[in-house]
Amino acid sequence: METVDTVIQVNDDEMISLLKSMIQHKSYSGEEGKLSLFMADYLRNMGLEVEMQEVVPGRYNIIGVLKGTGGGESVMYNGHIDTNPIGLGWTVDPLAGYVDDECIYGIGVSNMKASDSAFVAAVKAIVDSGVRLKGDIIVGLVIGELQGGIGTIHMLESGINADWFINGEPTDLSLMTLHAGACEIAIHVYGVSRHLSKAEQGVNAIEQAKKVMDGLASLQFSGATKPQYAGLNRYNIGVIRGGLGDEYHEWRIPQLPDKCTLKVALRFAPSQTAESIVADVQNLLDRLHVEDPEFKAEIELLNGPGYPVMGSFEIDENEAVVQVMRAAHERITGAKPRVGDVAPYKFYGTDAAHLQKAGIKGVIYGCGGKYNTMPDERVELKDLKTCARVYAASIVEICNCEKTRP
């Protein structure tokens, strides 16, 4: 007896070829234009209706739609096409799309071009099979996720919607139903400059900033109402810059620095907010000033209109989309997926939070993750192939469900 999994066949060679081309189109956040045009043509050639949304000049969301016959639930794939910059330590060309027997390599392949290509391949398999689904399939390839999700926010504000979503961030084929929210701050610590010969008369801002670093290491954030929520709190000091004045002049090393700035990434739970954890950091600074009146610091929130806060995300594990994808994963792999607040992925910020805020329910499931954001970033081919098949099976199940909402 034929099943959906046998009727709909993913073409692995085509999928890998697509992914190689995606890698070869450099698409740092802010430089996605050429890849957007390439993907628009690719989706059109598949037979999808394609809308190009110019979010900012030269940067386009690509929205592809495969219309259903009517009366079924719709599903939206959400995946970003912008990537991190290339760092040091690569042993293969990060823009070549190199493939060996086990993996495909390249900047952004894990985060998250592999999942993007897997979903496109799944949709193409459905088109090629001739199977007609009741609900619409929407392929949302967005820019600027690494800028807080500006592409997805634009897409939602334009009126693009669906009954369900699948976000393809790299979870190593885990079903992530809970993750932290993300915001970023700068902590400006101030000192009093003197020449080192008069160091006793001055205050070294860099040494004062060390008190902040020590305080953050022991800070317990307030407002976590469940143990798993407390497990979402985390911080990272990503930038330290100190020197003289607002320009951080570095050439006059004998002078005590009078300004040191720490740029800090913060993670918060659904029962917390960006404002609540920033208030916790402010309380730390206030305590340090009480302990040492010479300690002076202030907080600047780095998120804003061009770089929004990414909220936390949570969906009940019993929701239909989670159950459908869990069943598809088990059927295709013969094993149960990890489900829930799976580490380390639960510390991501993702566009799933924006989609949920817009009233769409969904789940996060993608290939890659193990070798994400590191030299020789790569995805195992077996996981890429599994991901596409799980997507295909899940799409068919969701889009053939009778529509239950207006």
Domain limits for position 242: 181-301
Question: Which helix (H) or strand (E) is 139 found in, with range?
Answer: strand 137-142
pLDDT at 3 over 80: no
* pLDDT tens-digit readout, 205-264: 999 999 999 999 999 999 999 999 999 999 999 999 999 999 999 999 999 999 999 999
Q: Note whether 208 and 95 are same-domain residues.
A: no
The answer, yes or no, to whether residue 406 has pLDDT greater than 70, is no
Residue 406 lies in a domain: no
Q: Are residues 53 and 143 in the same domain?
A: yes
Domain count, the chain: 2
Q: Is 296 helix (H, G, I), strand (E, B) or coil?
A: strand
pLDDT per residue as tens digits for the range 94-132: 999 999 999 999 999 999 999 999 999 999 999 999 999
Judgement on whether residues 138 and 35 belong to the same structural domain of the protein: yes
Residue % of the chain over a pLDDT of 70: 98
Residues 6+ apart with CB under 8 A from 23: 95, 96, 97, 104, 106, 107, 108, 109, 113
Mean pLDDT, range 151-156, rounded to an integer: 98
Question: What amino acid occupies position 264?
Answer: V
> Domain check: are 16 and 133 in the same one?
yes
pLDDT at 1: 37
